[in-house]
Amino acid sequence: MKHSLFVGNSVNQLTDSSASWNDVMDRIRSKAKAQKLKKNGKPFSLHFEEIKNHWLRTPANSIDSFREMVAHQMSELEYNSFHKRLAEMAVDNILTTNYDYCLEAAVGSQRQSANFGTEETKYSLFRRIVSGEKSFWHIHGELDYPGTIMLGHDHYVESCAQIRSYTTYRDGVFYKSTGKLRQRFKASKVDLRDGKPYSWIDLFMLTHLHVIGFSMDFSETDMWYLISYKNRLQRTKHPQLAKSKIHFYGLKRSDNHQIYENIESLLESFDVECHCYQVKAGDYRSAWKNILKDLEENIERR
């Protein structure tokens, strides 16, 4: 069975240059006149909402101009050695909540849009980019299309509704350019190489999924919904999905001990296999090196 990666923002925070994640976030807060704001454990979706609210206090600003400003600042992010290691893993598909193209840049090949002609302008069920021999799925939007970047809580909730439509509705979702597109993962026999459109959600359901650099914060409603829904299908109507497994590679610190244990407990109740890595004295790089070593081994032997 195929393996896929699900990559969160933690890998961006390992970049040590003038275009580091912290530098970019500082510039975004400065542009929004919100220099005093601190993330301090807030979920990224709500922290961006907070920054956006400060941006909108200037009458001439708008939500669209906020997205464009964020896209411009994030375009300066540079890939690091950890992006490169992830891009070199023996997988065909990498799902990411990141808006930037650091993973594609690490491949070293020109990136091309391959979204099955859906021409999504707001949501990102089919937002695929091909670079080299790999497909990258920006499930929360991408920088080249600022309107797709999920920075507001309203956009996030609407996206969850779109995911719900694709996973459960008989008619799936509709695009003018393609017509109705239904979920592929519920079919008795599925071959995603047949040239027909499919979503990153189908990969989430059908492949071994390795979740790395993503906190699984309780605000990540889309992920918790899909994990819960997949587990329910595995137990009831679609036992063939039980062949695929979700792996969570978590970073545990002294200050998030209880929160991490709560997340791990819930994930394990949904039959997610959890791998815990201690971050000692703020040394994320050592923890990441251990994650990548275990990740390579898990992909090779399963």
Q: Mind listing the pLDDT tens digit of every residue in the chain (302 residues)? A: 799 999 999 999 998 865 678 888 999 999 999 999 988 878 888 888 899 999 999 999 999 999 999 999 999 999 999 999 999 999 999 999 999 999 999 998 899 999 999 989 999 999 999 999 999 999 999 999 999 999 878 889 999 999 999 999 989 999 999 999 999 999 888 889 898 999 999 999 999 999 999 999 998 999 999 999 999 999 887 877 878 999 999 999 888 889 999 999 999 999 999 999 999 988 999 999 999 999 999 998 76
Residue 64: partners with Cβ closer than 8 Å, 6 or more residues away: 146, 147
Q: What is the end-to-end Cα distance of the chain in Å, rounded?
A: 8
Please give the single-letter amino acid code of residue 173: V
Q: Nearest Cα to 237, choosing from 167, 173, 297, 150?
A: 167
Q: Output the DSSP codes for 24-85.
A: HHHHHHHHTT-TT---TT--HHHHHHHHHHHHTTSTT--HHHHHHHHHHHHTT----HHHHH
Handedness of CA 294, 295, 301, 302 (dihedral sign): positive
Map tokens 């209880």 to a residue. Answer: 258
The answer to whether the pTM exceeds 0.75 is yes
* Predicted pLDDT at 30: 96
Domain boundaries, the chain: 3-14+79-301
**How do strand 246-252 and strand 273-278 relate by DSSP bridges?**
parallel
**How do strand 134-138 and strand 128-131 relate by DSSP bridges?**
antiparallel
* Predicted pLDDT at 276: 96
Does an H or E element contain 226, and which?
Answer: helix 221-235
Helix axes 153-168, 221-235, angle to 10 degrees: 20
Helix axes 21-31, 44-55, angle to 10 degrees: 30
* Predicted pLDDT at 91: 97
Q: Are 277 and 252 in contact (CB under 8 A)?
A: yes
How far apart CA 265 and CA 267 sit, in angstroms, is: 6
* Predicted pLDDT at 302: 65
